[in-house]
Amino acid sequence: MKFSLKPLSLALAAVLFAGCSITQTNTGDGNIVPTVAPAPVIPELTYVRTVEGIDEYTLPNGLKVLLLEDAAQPKTLVNITYRVGSVHEEYGETGMAHLLEHMLFKGSTNYPKIEDEFKKRGMGINATTWLDRTNYFEVFETNDDNLAWALGMEADRMINATFTEDELKSEMTVVRNEMERGENSPVRILLARMASMAYLWHNYGNSTIGARSDVENFPFPKLRAFYKKHYRPDNAVLTIAGRFDKEKTKQMIAEKFGVIAKPETPIEPLYTKEPTQDGERIVNLRRVGDVPWVGLSYHAPSGLHPDAAPIRVLQQILGDNARGRLKADIVDKGIATAAYAFSFMLKDSSRIMFAAQGSKDQATDKMEQALIAQAEDLINNPVTEEEVKRAKTTLLKQTEMAMRNVQGIGMELSEYIAKGDYRHMFYFRDLIEQVTPEQVKQVAEKYLVRSNRTLGRFIPTEKPVRAEIPETGSLDEILKDYKGKQVASAGEVYDNTVSNIKARLQAETWPNGTELQVYPKQLRGDEIHIKMTLPTGSAKSLAGNVAAFNMLGSQLMSGSQKYSKAQLADKLDAIKSTMSVSSRLGEWHVNVTTDKANFAEAVKLLGEILSKPTFPQTELDNAIRASVSGLEQQRNEPSARALDNYRKSLNAYPQGHPRAFVELDDKIAEIKSVTRQQLSDLYQQHITINHGVIAIVGDIELNQASSALQAAIGHLNKNVEFKYMANQMHDKQGLSVSSETPDKANASLYIINRLDLKPSHPDYLALNMANSIFGADTFSSRIGKRIRVEEGYSYSVRSGLSVDEMDEQGVFWAMAIAAPENVQNVIRAYKEEVQKVLDNGFTAEELAQAKEGFINSRKRAWASDAGIADILNYNKQIKRDLAFYDEQESQLANVSLEQVNQAFAKYIAAKEINTFMAGDFAKLKK
């Protein structure tokens, strides 16, 4: 008998070359010989440390391995924890981490039917997903085959999970049913709503189960991308506990996991921090149910913070089922049927929570009061030494017992792995041992306070009323047959240039002195703009009446002899018009927008408003309350306080003058003292059109406009003295005035110096260019580039000129907002930029851009037809011809770089700047 060796040879080759690739090489002499490529190098586990029986190792790909031998237990745990949970989900991805956990049971490339294998091998398996982590575990009878299979399977599904889009669709309905199961529990929903309310920005506020719309709709490629992004060896910790052969197990781990490559892309750290809560928040949940619940949630530090240990002890003292304060003071007294305390010791901002369950038909108010008293009255009712000792004993026992159980080890370690390091479990235990009553008292005082509280109430409601928001149909379907209405009449193409306006401008002066200008132009929709400025009064007539006069104009719109305020609104809607009247420092201002068809009615209504006001007491009371409330809001507003510092420091008028600075409290007192009779008297004394200017832009002729206006308001021609009150300011330098605005994250800074010029001054254009280059734009100016773009100190920084042809004095100002700690940096940077200009000047390119910007800005302003009415009025007031603007542009072309640099040095680069600021600067000293 002959024996063939071929099968044996093949079998031997299979053993010898297992894991190798074989190629053929031609030797050049006609022979072909096999060439064996080297087998992949299996990396070794690197020993790191041993902590309380747990041996820590790492692989070159970043996988961390924890081995805890316990030969007394005839079972083995394989647990792998990934540092990915719902906190890592982006917009539209809520529930993705949890759904992915489900999908990883669908098999992988080399382990296609893992659920069948679990059953065949009798393994106890599960997986859990929470905020910061997802873990998968298998517990099985100890043997090498089970261990090798479990390790191989976990390694393969780390990178080779094969779940498909069809499997996602079917599993989605399973997860949705899990979601629906949770929705059956009112208390579970309440806790989810409270979390959402407690966290404004951090993803801890999102439920791990996710939003139904996300779970039902997120695209399959996004789920695959999420898997690829987070399931990787350097984002995982593998734990083996129980009975196993350590050396064999290490070799298995190296073979199964060591060949997985470490991704080149680093793990992206999370950076969202939850801001300090600044007031209690309340959630009311109304659903069908039987018994009420009340919950309290308080923000707490990370579970890694030293305060976490006393917080955990505090939770135990209040929530102990047999001996806790909640039981003794709430349950035993019949206020609630059950009460609980629990804390989430998370990687980031955590929470401590309390909850109480009532009986059927019980109101929540007593439970709520009792629960709040227990939580927030610990300052007056501090914990005792005995309570702390008892709580510590219980907590230490729980940790010790968890470490005795193979499955408990995996779950306990997973929570600390999610926080960053398994060793913190032992460190935290040691911190618990050291907690004192004083530490518990301190954390209660710091965190269990009203402003840090989120209150939740579940109020059982037999027939809850809800506003169900319907789904929106396809916009294409909605609009498929839409044609629109008649096109509004188009405005004529006629640009607002000086020459064009002058070519059409019509003007007349009424016998009483009122000056009317009409610029006929067809606007879109036949729109017409009417602007009036009606000067009145003097320093003498307005002294002591500033607050009342400033309210007078708006009160004219509160009702007339013919119309109430509501009826005025109805009338304006009916004639498709808007109208406003305001008054300030000796001027009435009227703005009307109407159309050609309703012009006559609008002017007639204006006459009713200006001629026959009634000043209803209710509307006056409303206005006073609104004005006072607005001023009260400014009391600690940095910008308002900084500007008040400027006005108080540089205003040159004596107290009692209408333009004098008035302190906030005095201003409020003045407003509160305004009476209806005072308004009526001021109106009678100051209503006049005799010094007024009126401008109209729209498709109307002078004679038509004049006739309608004189019929409506021509009788308001009382001879009232008018004397303009010019701006008067102290010429001071080197002032530094600061106000405290507690608890404001942002500070305001103003740098302001007096200017003795007006727009017609020979230096004005050069100064305007200097300001434009230096600070007029937040992004492109010198200080904008330096302070915002380069340094990042301020969101808004700019400068400007406040000058008026009617005043001899104005100001150059620069402003910035910044964190209080950065205000001095802003001032330093500002001064350095000033010095750079003094040393080197501006550039020709900067000047060219500033000139171009000036011209374009004017063109943009003149493109507004309503704005043209304002321009016409202003120029008529100061008796200036429109030709001024063309002349100014011609002069601008001749402004030289030398003139601009000189203007900067003369007007902006003050030897000593005035700084006016407000912010929470006191906190910098703490």
CATH number reported for the structural domain that contains residue 288 in this entry = 3.30.830.10
Q: Is residue 272 in a domain?
A: no
Is the confidence at residue 3, as pLDDT, over 70?
A: no
Residue 339 above 90 pLDDT?
yes
Residues 679 and 567 in one domain: yes
User: 39 falls in which pLDDT band (50, 70, 90)?
Assistant: low
The pLDDT value given to residue 553: 96
- Residue 778 inside a domain? The answer is yes
Does residue 121 sit in the same domain as residue 202? yes
pLDDT at 29 over 50: no
pLDDT attached to residue 914: 96
What are 58's two structure tokens? 């790492």
Average pLDDT, the chain: 92
Q: Are 673 and 797 in the same domain?
A: no
> How many angstroms separate the CA atoms of 556 and 716, rounded?
14
Give the pLDDT score at 178.
82
Q: Are strands 915-919 and 736-740 parallel, antiparallel or unpaired?
A: parallel
Residues facing residue 355 across a β-bridge: 295, 340
Token pair for 74? 């005839």
Please check whether residue 123 is in contact with residue 138, taking contact to mean a CB–CB distance below 8 angstroms: yes
Burial class from Cβ neighbours inside 10 Å (0-12, 13-18, 19+) for residue 288 reads exposed
Q: Which of 272, 246, 319 is nearest to 68 (CA)?
A: 246
In a domain, 721, yes or no: no
Give the length of the chain. 926
Same-domain check for residues 230 and 290? no
Task: Tell me if 154 is assigned to some domain.
Answer: yes
pLDDT of residue 473: 84
In this model, does residue 925 exceed pLDDT 90? Answer: no
* Closest by CA position to 513, among listed 364, 719, 365: 719
Q: Please, how many CA atoms are within 13 Å of residue 436, restricted to the half-sphere of its CB?
A: 3
Q: Do both 667 and 636 map to the same domain?
A: yes
User: Inter-axis angle of helices 664-672 and 617-634, to 10 degrees?
Assistant: 170
pLDDT at 363: 81
Same domain, 521 and 644: yes
Q: Is residue 473 in a domain? A: no
Is a pLDDT exceeding 60 seen at residue 37? no
Question: What are phi and psi for residue 537, nearest 5 degrees?
Answer: 80, 180
Q: How large is the average pLDDT for residues 606-618?
A: 97
Contact 233, 259 (CB under 8 A): no
Q: In which element (H, E) is residue 608 found?
A: helix 599-611
Percentage of residues of the chain with pLDDT beyond 90: 83
Reduce the DSSP state of residue 113 to 3 states and report it: coil
Last residue of a domain, one of 413, 434, 460: 460
202 and 301 together in one domain: no
* pLDDT at residue 488, as a whole number: 76
Comparing 406-420, 606-620, 690-704, 711-725, the range with the smallest average pLDDT is 406-420
As a whole number of angstroms, the distance between CA 157 and CA 104 comes to: 7
Domain count, the chain: 5
**Sequence-distant contacts of 824-831: CB under 8 A, at least 24 apart:** 825/791, 825/793, 826/749, 826/787, 826/793, 826/794, 826/797, 827/749, 827/751, 827/915, 829/783, 829/786, 829/787, 829/791, 829/793, 830/751, 830/783, 830/787, 830/913, 831/913
Alpha-carbon distance 757 to 807, whole Å? 8
Indicate whether 399 and 534 sit together in one domain: no
Residue 127 lies in a domain: yes
Q: What is the pLDDT of residue 530?
A: 98
pLDDT single digits (tens) 161-186: 999 999 998 888 888 888 778 777 88
3-state secondary structure of 527: strand
- The answer to whether residues 411 and 432 belong to one domain is yes
Phi, psi at 161, each rounded to 5°: -60, 135
Q: Are strands 693-698 and 515-520 parallel, antiparallel or unpaired?
A: parallel
Is 362 inside any structural domain? yes
Cα 757 from Cα 367, distance rounded (Å): 70
Task: Spell out the SS3 assignment of 716-750.
Answer: CCCCCCECCCCCCECCCCCCEEEEECCCCCCEEEE
Dihedral through CA 772, CA 774, CA 777, CA 782, nearest 10? Answer: 150
Q: Given a cut of 70, is residue 17 above it in pLDDT? A: no
Q: What is the mean pLDDT of residues 758-765?
A: 95
Token pair of 725 as six digits: 């009150």
CB 811 within 8 A of CB 804: no
- Shared-domain flag, residues 360 and 427: yes
pLDDT per position as a tens digit, 271-291: 999 999 999 999 999 998 889
230, pLDDT greater than 50: yes
Of 124, 106, 89, 344, nearest to 209 by C-alpha is 89
Q: Which pLDDT score is estimated for 627?
A: 94
644 and 749 part of one domain: no
Q: What is the DSSP letter of 267?
A: P
Note whether residue 489 is domain-resident.
no
| Judgement on whether residues 649 and 789 belong to the same structural domain of the protein | no
Rounded Cα distance between 699 and 706, Å, is 14
pLDDT tens per residue across span 882-897: 999 999 999 999 999 9
C-beta of residue 914 within 8 angstroms of C-beta of residue 650 = yes
d(CA 147, CA 160): 19
| Structural domain that includes position 424 | 281-460
Q: What is the pLDDT of residues 779-793, one digit of tens each?
A: 999 999 999 999 999
pLDDT tens per residue, range 483-531: 888 887 888 999 999 999 999 999 999 999 999 999 999 999 999 999 9
